[in-house]
Amino acid sequence: MSRKHERVSREPVNDGRRRFLRTAAIAGSALASAPLLARSDPEAYGVAPRYLHEPAKGSMMFDHDHGPHEHDRIELPGAPDDVEYREFDLSFDLVEHELLPGVKMPAFAFNGQVPGPVFRVQENDWIKVNVTNNTEEMHTIHWHGVDLIYTMDGVPMVSHDPAHPGETLVYRFQARPHGTRFYHCHWGTPLHMMSALHGAFIIDSPDDPIRKEFPYTRDYVLMLESFDVEFTRRHINELLEGMKQVNQLMHQGRLSHVTHGFFKRYQDFVQAIEDGWRPPYTRGNAPRDHIVPNFFAINGKSYPATLGTHGHLRIRRGEYIRIRLINGGMADHHMHLHGHQFWKVAEDGNPLPQPIRLNTVPVTPGKTVDIIVYGDNPGFWDFHDHKEIHSRNNGIYPGGMITMLEYEDMGDPPYVPSTSVNQ
């Protein structure tokens, strides 16, 4: 299971100029060779989030024939080399994702999945994640709510340099503290924020007080997501166009650090301005992004595609279930369960000293909330965002962030729900 591994790289951080020249070269060649939205395979996304239970070398969608070369592998510094690591593979991919029948959106996605695969690890496990950038943009991973070494924290230019196209970043850290946490790209442009680069990072512990107080038998992970599909499509197309310009600049020998606004030191940036360079924010006329999410999803699917997948919650009489809600998007959600008073047992992954009984719980961006439901009212029950505008698909009710709690031991129910997409 675990593997011993090589020493931490002591090489200094690469010179920025060389790095983005290489980026441009890779971007240019990829543009020439590959249609970028070609990796669409609706079959690959339609079901439950896939767990990363085991060290996963070779088991993901990653294509090893076109994988990274050794020189593109960057071990982030600072991690110990005298511990056993559990090793996982991830990739940044550009895919076309089906939100529900009839609606596809382009998205950056981990391992081509929306959301990314679920990590399930034990508290204090040492984790090694090799993440390969198969896109033409730069990315990082931030391990949200995990207390790790700062060089693994995924804030570009603060923790470490981002993954350039074709590069593999190697993150190594200890999984702690236990609870419902998540991971996401920290390249904070609106396009990346509107994309689907997020996944659950669940850290278990035998000492979890929630497990002791509520002996639950099922454990659901629901990633709450919001997407402006038109914005994403337009910007990904612009991105592909922009790569042509970078390619041109490179051929004309006009690519430099100022064309990218990238400086190793703050003083270099100040010097460039004194030398007459005009930074992008002084040029004006940039279109102001107006992001209005028009599709809302649970685990990558909008209602009614939320049903029949991992977002469809099942329970029996006398059973406790745990539901881990993670807001990986930019909208506020107020999740309301009909017919039950549940317990809110954890916030931001941390167990509450005193569980609170609720039927509606806010989950704002970046938050995780754990709730426990007890099966005492057989039926089919709505579980949805009470912000009604999020219960629509492109403005049409019902849709978006709606799913169902269904009792499996109903016998012969007096009414069986049907599917509706236009009320």
What is the nearest approach in angstroms of Cu ion to the Cβ of residue 254? Answer: 26
**Secondary structure of 268-293 in HEC code, one letter for each residue:** HHHHHHHCCCCCHHHCCCCCCCCCCC
| Binding site residues, Cu ion, CB under 5 A | 139, 185, 187, 192
Residue 48 in contact with residue 288, Cβ under 8 Å?
no
Q: Nearer Cβ to Cu ion, position 191 or 210? A: 191
Collapsing DSSP states into helix, strand and coil, what is residue 162? coil
What is the nearest approach in angstroms of Cu ion to the Cβ of residue 32? Answer: 23
What tokens does 264 get? 């190793």
Length of the chain: 423
What is the nearest approach in angstroms of Cu ion to the Cβ of residue 28? Answer: 20
Q: Nearer Cβ to Cu ion, position 163 or 405? A: 163
What is the nearest approach in angstroms of Cu ion to the Cβ of residue 75? Answer: 20
Q: Nearer Cβ to Cu ion, position 156 or 177? A: 156
Is it true that the peptide bond before 304 is cis, omega within 30 degrees of 0?
yes
Cα–Cα dist 205/222, whole Å: 20
Q: Nearer Cβ to Cu ion, position 210 or 229? A: 229
CB-based contacts of 112, cutoff 8 Å, min separation 6: 39, 41, 44, 45, 61, 91, 93, 95
What is the nearest approach in angstroms of Cu ion to the Cβ of residue 323? Answer: 28
Q: Nearer Cβ to Cu ion, position 185 or 255? A: 185
What is the nearest approach in angstroms of Cu ion to the Cβ of residue 402? Answer: 28
Cα–Cα dist 417/380, whole Å: 8
Element (H, E) at 260: helix 257-260
Going by the DSSP 8-state scheme, the letter that residue 101 receives in this structure is: T
Give the strand pairing for 51-52 and 118-122: parallel
Residue 152 in contact with residue 374, Cβ under 8 Å?
no
What is the nearest approach in angstroms of Cu ion to the Cβ of residue 235? Answer: 12
* Nearest residue to the partner Cu ion, using Cβ: 185
Is it true that the peptide bond before 162 is cis, omega within 30 degrees of 0?
no
Q: Nearer Cβ to Cu ion, position 94 or 404? A: 94
